[in-house]
Each structure stands twice: as C-alpha cells, then as structure tokens.
Amino acid sequence: MYKIGRIFLFRVPEEVELIKYLTEFAIRNNIKMAYLSGIGAFSEVKMGYFVREKNAYEPIEYNRLMELISLTGNISIKEGKPVPHIHVVLGDRHGHTIGGHLLEAKVYMVEILVVELLGPILERQEVAPGIWFWPETKL
C-alpha cells in the first residue's frame, strides 16, 4: 500500500528531451516512486511498439508537431536509479491518434503532474534481454 507524498505540477521547458528531463527531475528531488500524467505537444517524438518475438521496440517516429492528448506512466527504480516509464496517445492535425511506449520526445509545450508514492520501492528487473519488469506483487 502506498501513501501520497509530494505533488508537483509544472510546465516542462521547451525544446528539452522529456525522458531525460523527468529522470533528472526525479534524481534532484529524490523521487523513487511516482505516478505521472501529462498533456501538451511534442515537436518531435519517437514511440515504440513492442515486438515480443524480437524482444525489442519497433520505433515509430514523427518529426512534426503532434498533440500530446494523454501521457500516463510512472517513475520507479531500474539499476539503482529512478527511471520514467511512459505511454502516450498523440494526435495529428487531421484528428488521427496513435499511441505507444515513449522512447524520446522533444518538448514543444508539456504540462506534467508528478505524484510521489511513499511505500515499498518497486525495482525493475531484467527478465529477458532488454525487458524490464517489476517483480510480481502478492496482494
């Protein structure tokens, strides 16, 4: 069971790479576990679709403005450091949407909610080459 710790609500600086920024934010603020939510837009984005047979993400890239309709994810520990794990739904100017695992994103305008979670630390473990899961939770 977790308790809510600090709550952060902020706009991410324009032109920064989001995963790197959130990783540095977590380190600076000593965040080990958190829930993430966000909206906004990316000027460039690389998502991944996981191909189980290859144990790898197949990249999907957009080098144009894409609206960030929904960002959801978490921060937890991987190899001793806090790491964001994020999924997004994006929209284009024609109203088409696409979603996936966020690999990289250059921020145009992004607003993020970070809700720190206090309780047992979940540390990702490599279960296959390149595949990192939390341990199974016994409820």
Here the CATH number for the domain that contains residue 104 is 3.30.1330.80
Give domain status of residue 110, yes or no. Answer: yes
pLDDT in tens, 4-59: 999 999 999 999 999 999 999 999 999 999 999 999 999 999 999 988 888 888 99
pLDDT in tens, 62-106: 999 999 999 999 999 999 999 999 999 999 999 999 999 999 999
Give domain status of residue 138, yes or no. Answer: no
Give domain status of residue 125, yes or no. Answer: no
Give domain status of residue 21, yes or no. Answer: yes
How far apart CA 3 and CA 116 sit, in angstroms, is 8
Question: Which two structure tokens, joined as six digits, stand for 35?
Answer: 């829930």
Give domain status of residue 8, yes or no. Answer: yes
Residue with tokens 């990289």: 104
Give domain status of residue 98, yes or no. Answer: yes
Q: Which domain holds residue 32?
A: 3-119
In this prediction, residue 55 carries a pLDDT of 81
Torsion of CA 22, 23, 27, 30, to 10 degrees: 60
